[in-house]
Amino acid sequence: MPQAFPSPSASCSTPSTVAGFNNSALPNPFIFNEGTPVQTVEDWSCRRAQISALIQGYEAGELPGPPDSFSGSFSLSGTRGTLSITARNGGNSISFSSTITYPSGTAPAAGWPLVIAYEGGSIPIPSGFAVLSYSNSNMAEQNDASSRGQGLFYELYGTNATASAMTAWVWGVSRIIDVLETTPAAKINIDAIAVTGCSRDGKGALMAGAFEPRIALTIPQESGSGGDACWRLSLWEQDNGSVVQTATEIVTENVWFSSNFANYVDNLSVLPIDHHLLAAMVAPRALVSFENTDFAWLSPLSSFGCMTAAHTVFQALGIPQNHGFEQIGGHEHCAWPANLTASLDAFFDRFILNETSTSTNFFSTNDVFYGVPWNQSQWINW
């Protein structure tokens, strides 16, 4: 299984809100809700559980566990397989399927490593990997603000479910992995799963990596605000004259986040979470994100600053090599630049193929922040 810490103890308190919170800087990952310090690896397990509950409570909506029942089947034709899933809950049922494209040849004894690609993904996948194209928009629609409650997930759980599109997508990823675990004919190595997506689907890929512990490697591409950028920093960019996607805009644009999130976007200081904490939830598993500075609306300063804050958690846990960040320009949105392939392949090699001698010390920016000043101590005061 992917590297993981022990589950938090029964005494770990995980409320969905924190009364009286107020902090204009990025919230401290190393302080429990009640104000005591996080000092050990075991402490981090509880702190991570607290962050999970807060992200669901303030921003993402409730992520349900497995439905009352589910089943799956698999068929293969040449190098293309179809994984079909039926889920039942409270008298409702849905069915959905995903296409898996396989390499040619004989599968390794443990099965093929797998990349779950939101809407097919747009990163280059090394040879020797199977790729599952995940139709996340069928699970929960993301056309515009009218999409709330639309999609297969809501047919199963009802339109009153608090889950946003983001958490509905995570639920679907988890069911795919559930079925792969019990479908040896699919020849997938459950311990070697990566997830990726670009732009809006990059936001979703990061959420999946944070909440699904069976994902070994998370690769958001150009996810921007709502992804590897922090809400507070994106607002800072806007206040300094950059045209970016902020929390106040994003809640009117689409249904990626819960309707409850709109209650907080005008006063971000009361949020005890931001997306450096979402990214930190991936630890101790691996995370590498790629950003494009050619587009100011992708919040380039926010992404760099936010992932710099998340990196402190990986450093504190003694695994800085498990977290990478690359930020360059010179390419279209979601078009992969060849000069980043070496970094991407290194993360695949180390964290999916277990080539532990491979260096993954990649964390860099080209510093194109459109005149917005970055002062680390202003935001990261721990």
Domain boundaries, the chain: 41-378
Window from 9-13, 57-61, 146-150 with minimum mean pLDDT:
9-13
Question: Does residue 245 surpass a pLDDT of 90?
Answer: yes
Q: What is the pLDDT of residues 318-361, one digit of tens each?
A: 999 999 999 999 999 999 999 999 999 999 999 999 999 999 99
pLDDT at 4 over 80: no
Query: Residue 180 in contact with residue 186, Cβ under 8 Å?
Result: yes
199 catalytic? Reply is: yes
Average pLDDT over every residue of 80-85: 98
Look up the pTM and report it: 0.97
In the residue annotation, 259 being an active-site residue is answered as no
One of 199, 223, 289, 303 is an active-site residue; which one?
199
Closest CA to 72 of 187, 188, 186, 216: 186
Is residue 68 scored above 70 in pLDDT? yes
Q: What tokens were used for 138?
A: 């069928």
Kindly tell me if the per-residue pLDDT of 311 is higher than 80.
yes
pLDDT at 292 over 90: yes
pLDDT at 338: 97
The CA distance from 351 to 358, in Å, is: 9
Q: How confident is the model at residue 224 (pLDDT cuts 50, 70, 90)?
A: very high
What is the chain's percent helix, strand, coil content, to nearest 5?
35, 20, 45
Catalytic residue among 16, 45, 147, 333: 333
Is a pLDDT exceeding 70 seen at residue 119?
A: yes
When the candidates are 2.40.100.20, 3.40.50.970, 3.40.50.300, 3.40.50.1820, the CATH number that belongs to 41-378 is 3.40.50.1820
